[in-house]
Structure 1
């Protein structure tokens, strides 16, 4: 397997990101993750999407730590500090899902709150049903379940078309457009893992992995997850919605809320877009009000 590994110097001095990198081997690949806080505390497992990486959670991590959580934030393979296979065929729904599950087992994470957005939700929302005893909370933002039996929205189809015609996607410029509040150095930090086009295979692959038919990879898992969340989920849930998201915004999140058993009305963030984690503090504050004390 031909694999690229982003040089460490690319990650030096990133604004707001003075966290210690940690690594684990999953098969032949090295996965990066952050692991902050007391090892005995309840866990906030923070899963990012495309084209971001764990840097996306830099504003939420201190708040979660202050509330008493241990925070674990991995980079999917192909993203961040994790290894980046060159062959596009390596990247499948099951490949990403199984790697996150392997990390959960390797760290023996328990009392987990799944914190997810974008692909962090597409993948992450299919995991608790097969690890029921490990999860007790959900904090979900601007994402969906890729069940393959529902039409994909025009916003997503436009995004997939853009991604497919942008093999060397300008991630800095994309983040500046999508999150205008970002400082130039912050927007550039999102592009740090990708020195050139060769490193962006995983980024390019994700939009084409969204299940768009019933027999697509991940579709059956996602339908089973839909049943789990609607019929068997007994934990606490909180939803935050970036209202300016043209891809996974209010209509998609309204549908997802109907799936999640006992999900309360969402926190609507009128000025936030797709990368809603950039709102940071308010999401954690309101979620904790809903959940109550962390024990």
Structure 2
């Protein structure tokens, strides 16, 4: 076990918390020996044939987990692909370090790179939204990942280029860090009013009590909104990749009612993605467009 991983205090959500999760009966796998994360258990859905000639890598954001992709995974599987949907550490079925300082941009990013290498995913369609994009869009800066990447599906997200997204985001960051009750199901339902009570409960399932929520509380504070922050340099390198090197197919969908990462932000991102077609605008769609 690495000294870094050995020093991390973490909690593990009991499996029975997920027994009532609806419409998400996909094989869940665990790995506890990723380089740099030895002893921390990471969880990921891995559906479809491991020998498929294409794969979808679906990265969730804040404060959700892989359950967010329950309506998209069946469509991807119908194409004959393999679908992998990890839970970031601090979310879903993955272990949850309890100290805020454990969570950094690179802590999350390096986990995804290590998992992709372990699973040897190839011909990847990268599917990203929210923090899934803030991290996922930087992955091709790593040459090994770049060689695995074929296509992009991008929804309400951004690159962290060291610029403030405005007062609305700052209020959300302060709320996440400091509100006494951080109710993830209600937060997601506030912008997704069609969710059932069972679906809202599924977003609450990973967090039996506040001690499990350090990752969810810290994620907004990690968004690279000023030049000195972690993630800015790799995000700027990623912007060059997407604008000057990217030759693959892209698809963009935008929930047009998202107050922070709606059409204005997404049109700026579109300009950075070489060959990105006009986005699908989802009328009345909020932040969680999946």
TM range (shorter): over 0.9
Moved over 4 A (4+): none
Equivalent of residue 50 in structure 2, options 39, 59, 71: 39
Spell out the pairing of 1:133-172 with structure 2 (5 A cutoff): 133-148=147-162, 150-172=163-185
Rounded to whole Å, the distance in 2 between the matches of 1:153 and 1:233 is: 29
1:167 shift after superposition = 4.9
Superimposed CA distance per residue, residues 227-263 of structure 1 (whole angstroms, 9 cap, x where no aligned partner): 1101011111000001111121111101100000110
1:30 shift after superposition = 0.8
Superimposed CA distance per residue, residues 93-112 of structure 1 (whole angstroms, 9 cap, x where no aligned partner): 00000000000000001100
Rounded to whole Å, the distance in 1 between the matches of 2:237 and 2:156 is: 20
2:23 paired with 1:10: no
Count of aligned pairs between the two proteins: 276
Q: TM-score, normalised by structure 2?
A: 0.93
Structure 2: which 5+ residue stretches go unaligned?
1-7
RMSD of aligned residue pairs (Cα, Å): 1.1
Rounded to whole Å, the distance in 1 between the matches of 2:180 and 2:223 is: 17
Equivalent of residue 258 in structure 1, options 257, 265, 271: 271
Structure 1: which 5+ residue stretches go unaligned?
278-295
Rounded to whole Å, the distance in 1 between the matches of 2:132 and 2:204 is: 18
2:40 paired with 1:29: yes
Equivalence for 1:273: 286
Equivalence for 1:126: 138
Q: Is the 8 A contact 2:165 2:260 kept in 1?
A: no
Distance 1:98 1:176, change over 3 A: same
Give the match's secondary structure for 2:160: coil
1:17 shift after superposition = 1.0
Equivalence for 1:281: none
